[in-house]
Amino acid sequence: MKKNILQIYPWINDRELYYLKKVIKSTFVTENKYTKLLEDKFKKLTNSRYAISVNNWTLGLFASLKSLDVGPGDEVIVPDMTFIASSNAVLLAGAKVVLCDVDPETLCLDTKKLHPLINSRTKAVMPVHLYGNSCDLDAIKKLRKKKNFFIIEDAAQAVGVKYKGKHVGPIGDVGGFSFYGNKLITTGEGGMIVTNNKKIYDSIYSLKNHGRKKKGIFIHNKIGYNFMFTELQAAMGLAQVDKLKKIIRSKLNLYNNYNKELKSIEQIKFVKPTQKSSRVHWFTNILCNNSRLRNFLKKKNIQTRRAFYPLHMQPCYKNNKNIIKKGKFPNSINVYKNLISLPSAVQLNNKDLKYIIKSIKVFFDNDKFRS
């Protein structure tokens, strides 16, 4: 029997060990020069003035919201199709979440449905660059003419993604990335916030470091928390950034192979890139309304993944008065029903890739006779 082919796993090798050894030998394991180096790399990568490492992007989102003074009485618009951390961060900040449906083709916030949701309480809009596809940021910016709101880019899944030639993250007021284990690059847990605004930077740094400007001071002007990074995470991060170009290229290669071999199958649709954006194929996703495919692949020891569960359907949000569900969410429901994330790990070898593609072809060939 074929060994299990995992949907995703990180690419970790001697490069990480090289940096980790340096940190361990130095015995300086809390934020220090490697963290600063990683922040500098992200400033360069995203062309942003400031970069702030955090212990995870969920709390990075929370700190970003707090830095913009988002709190009780405010509303933040969040796409219905995203990982629940996007909306939970808003709830943690004390504001209400207003859910918006997603575009059926790009799976990102449907900017045509955004307009009616904006009102005097709207403090921020949170575009989520889902699966490495950029949101239509110009369309969101255009809506600011009606009511000035902040834009917080949830780019957790979008390291390397560009919109109109600019890296996503600092295009809005503030944004950031997740370094969770399954992300494009990983530090185990971790995240990076980017912004071009000094006030936002100062506020976030203070929130992440007990309300002070730097370590070693024990008079605290503000109430803050501990969202600090570690040098061990930074060591991992530096090694991963060294590999970033290769990771992006290899994911594109996987996508191109899947696309070339499977696009002629009528029942399969590939997710479209947003116009004027260059996406990164964190996962290769297909939309396919044949629910038997996932089970068939599972029996072949090929692991796949479904889309996120639409936020408006989440059991924990059922009777939550801070979750506003105006209108319907046909597109996010559809994405949930039909999306399949195919194995997308950098180290997926050619033999396994061919086996996956062949299995999908066999499934549809057999299916013809069944239906």
Within 42-71, the residues that bind ligand PLP by CB under 6 A are: 56-58
Short-list 20, 61, 84, 70, CA closest to 191: 61
Taking the complex as a whole, the smallest distance from the CB of residue 345 to ligand PLP amounts, in Å, to: 17
Choose between 300 and 305: whose C-beta lies nearer to ligand PLP.
Answer: 305
**Candidate list 67, 134, 178, 332; residue touching ligand PLP; CB under 6 A:** 178
Choose between 149 and 283: whose C-beta lies nearer to ligand PLP.
Answer: 283
Please report whether residue 82 would count as binding ligand PLP according to CB under 6 A.
Answer: yes
User: How many amino acids of this chain bind ligand PLP (CB under 6 A)?
Assistant: 14
Taking the complex as a whole, the smallest distance from the CB of residue 49 to ligand PLP amounts, in Å, to: 22
Rounded to the nearest angstrom, the gap between the alpha carbon of residue 103 and the centroid of all alpha carbons in its chain is 17
Choose between 180 and 329: whose C-beta lies nearer to ligand PLP.
Answer: 180
Taking the complex as a whole, the smallest distance from the CB of residue 187 to ligand PLP amounts, in Å, to: 9
Taking the complex as a whole, the smallest distance from the CB of residue 9 to ligand PLP amounts, in Å, to: 15
Cα dihedral 193/199/202/203 (nearest 10): -80
Choose between 177 and 363: whose C-beta lies nearer to ligand PLP.
Answer: 177
Choose between 34 and 227: whose C-beta lies nearer to ligand PLP.
Answer: 227
End-to-end CA distance of the chain: 28
- In single-letter form, the type of residue at position 173 comes to D
Taking the complex as a whole, the smallest distance from the CB of residue 301 to ligand PLP amounts, in Å, to: 26
DSSP strand E in 198-295: where? 268-270, 277-278, 284-288
**Residue 163 buriedness (CB in 10 A; 0-12 / 13-18 / 19+):** buried
Short-list 195, 204, 199, 198, CA closest to 224: 204
Type and span of the H or E element at 93: none
Q: Which residues bind ligand PLP (CB under 6 A)?
A: 56-58, 82-83, 85-86, 128, 154, 156-157, 178, 180, 191
